[in-house]
Amino acid sequence: MYDYVSKELPELVESVLPIDPVRRGICGHSMGGHGALVIALRNPGRYQSVSAFAPISNPSTSPWGRAAFSEYLGKEGPQWDQYDASKLVREAPLDLEIRIDLGSADPFREQQLKVEQFVAACRESGQAVSFHLRGGYDHGYFFRDAPADPLAILKQWLARAAELTDRPNPHSLVLSTTGAQGRADARVVLLKHFDHELGYLVFYTNYLSAKGRQLAARPEACGVFHWDRLGLQARVCGPVLMSPGAESDRYFASRGWQSQLAAWASDQSKPASSRAQLEARMNEMAVRFGGNPGDWRKAAPPKTVTRPPHWGRYRLWARTLELWTQGQARLHDRILWSRDLKPAGEGQFRPGAWRAQRLQP
């Protein structure tokens, strides 16, 4: 890919278009900004200027960069330096005009982009650089055009959310259903799996709970992820189907013994006369499955606990998917994708092509 972007593609463009070879420039945004800086710095003399908007500037020290480098370049070493602009610019100053723009409200500024480190490296090495910090601007313009595959974007967002160190459950999902008399209901569940190819979210619960009964009566739901620190939100709406029992069995077997007992002990969403009643039920289940009363309070040896027939896995299939990115002056980016879903067996749909529509914020 590097050879194609840095050599083959420019040669092709210059062979068919009247490009002035003494006025070449390269630019990019975010990861594209990273690429523009690297290509310009590794090919001295080819470009007269490079412009980068909110670029990932020191990837060897950012979570995104380290994850990508480990996958594509292997163990950390000298090969990483060849794709890190903050390392490359220290080698020697170039006759190159470098322009960097960054929003002061960019949620990725400190942890991921590290633009100031690159600017400092430029100045330490004597490389001229023009740096503009735009007050109040963020990382926006993500949705200048509607990407064809929103599932790939949601997959990336979930990966970014997993890196948030100040949020213990970054994949928590507000799940909304319709209750009795058409009244809305909602609660938080944990996303346990995202199938980014077919487009469904997986969560587990008690089939006889309030949400389980609501889904049995009307198997439709909406789920919302919101990440303040990232300035991102995703809303998934569509039909909800039970997964095949074998999938629920496998996951239940992986849970801790106390969690397994609780799935048996709790008649979820039903009234409880007291806390003592709940604890008595836990003691009863501990004995039923080979333990002693009170074992659930401590790290007891694992016992074999079968999955309750009233507990298992659901799939929320994305009929619509709205992705939202925070923008300046409340001009947020909102794109709504929709598609048709045709039944295709147990727990399955055959999805159609996505259709995209920009929404006003």
Residue 247 has pLDDT above 60, yes or no: yes
pLDDT band at 71 (very low <50, low <70, confident <90, very high): confident
pLDDT 10s digits, 25-41: 999 988 899 999 999 99
Q: What is the pTM of this model?
A: 0.65
- Residues with a catalytic annotation lie at 30, 106, 139
Residue 195 has pLDDT above 80, yes or no: yes
Name 59's Cβ contacts closer than 8 Å, sequence gap at least 6: 34, 65, 66, 68, 69, 83, 84
* 2-11, 27-36, 111-120, 339-348: range with lowest mean pLDDT: 2-11
State the chain's mean pLDDT as an integer. Answer: 89
Check: CB of residue 163 under 8 Å from CB of residue 63. Answer: yes
Mean pLDDT of 326-352: 87
Write b or e for each residue in 34-62: b if 16 or more Cβ atoms lie within 10 A of its Cβ, otherwise e: bbbbbbbbebeeebbebbbbbbbbbbeeb
Classify domain 2-134 by CATH number.
3.40.50.1820
The Cα 196–Cα 151 span in angstroms is: 5
Mean pLDDT of 152-159: 89
Measured over all CA atoms, what is the biggest interatomic distance in the chain, rounded to whole angstroms? 83
pLDDT 10s digits, 197-219: 999 999 999 999 999 999 999 99
pLDDT band at 331 (very low <50, low <70, confident <90, very high): confident
What architecture is domain 150-256+302-359?
Roll (2.30)
Domain spans of the chain? 2-134, 150-256+302-359
pLDDT band at 144 (very low <50, low <70, confident <90, very high): low
pLDDT 10s digits, 259-302: 999 999 999 988 989 999 999 998 998 889 888 888 888 866 66
